[in-house]
Amino acid sequence: MVTTHQSPVMASNAAVRARGRRRRWFLEVSWKYVLALVVIVYAAFPLVYVLSASLATSGTLTGSTELFRSVSTANYEALDSTKFWTWAGNSIVIGLITAFGSVLMGAAAAYAFSRYRFAGRRGGLTGLLIIQMFPQMLAFVAIFLLLLSLGEVVPALGLNSKTALVCVYLGGALGTNTFLMYGFFNSVPRELDEAAKIDGATHAQIYWTIILRLVTPILAVVGLLSFISTFGEFILARVILTSEDNWTLAVGMYGWVSDQLQANWGLFAAGAVIAALPILALFLFLQKYIVSGLTAGSVKG
């Protein structure tokens, strides 16, 4: 039997290399775990705090530094005595219709800018880029006066109309969505269009049966972002919707905490927790499209 013995020099070198690896790990990797922990705590604490407030019986956010000191479902049960579910239904309907319309409008515009060459194409893209630099809420005074006059002619498109609110949202959604989709449409090879034309396909058939199927990830991303922004929007909804039955969640729940003397933060926190569930469910459903939809558009400009 032949036995090998590690010399003291080799053992010393191995120990030095091990210490070097540990030192490099500590200097190059360990701080990333610390930073990740800080970010997770920073992001999760407000969520845990709201959940704790929704289960508290005090109805206030002050006076206690201990999370989950009292646990009760009274705030959630109290939602049934309000118009919370009516507001939730209004928000979901408005959000879904706006998201669907934003996807259709943005996809059609992005396809036109990506596939066709026409006079004013570059100017149109530049105009959309400039318009999206200004938030839509800056025009709420003009929107209010416009709907006030339009409602005298077409009541369905006047103030206190959910249809009018959807139209306003769609009017401001074209710029951002078009640019987001434009880069993704450019990443689809034009050879597919040419091959389909050779086979006798029309522009409509190419668009609906080929292109839209290939750009499904960006459609999902745009729909999700549009739904999230619409679901939580407050200023335009507060200006346009005047009837309590037509309010959205953002407008209705604001009334619970707008009065400092009668603010019920426990009820507000319970409503906020439930209001987050539709967005969470939609996010989880579309999660597989999000990464590819946000990154693939940068492959080819």
- The residue ranking higher by pLDDT, 152 or 129, is 152
Select from 3.40.47.10, 1.10.10.10, 1.10.3720.10, 1.20.59.20 the CATH code of 82-298. 1.10.3720.10
For 50-80, how does the pLDDT look when each residue is reduced to its tens digit (9 = 90+)? 898 888 877 666 655 677 787 888 899 999 9
User: Over the range 260-298, which residues count as b (16 or more CB within 10 Å of their CB) and which as e?
Assistant: eeebbbbbbbbbbbbbbebeeebeeebeebeeebeebbe
CA pair distance 300, 108, nearest whole angstrom? 19
What does the pLDDT average to over 169-174? 83
Q: Where in the chain is the domain with CATH 1.10.3720.10?
A: 82-298
Confidence of residue 7 (pLDDT cuts 50, 70, 90): low
pLDDT of residue 21: 75
- Quote the pTM value: 0.82
For 124-148, how does the pLDDT look when each residue is reduced to its tens digit (9 = 90+)? 888 887 877 887 778 888 899 999 9
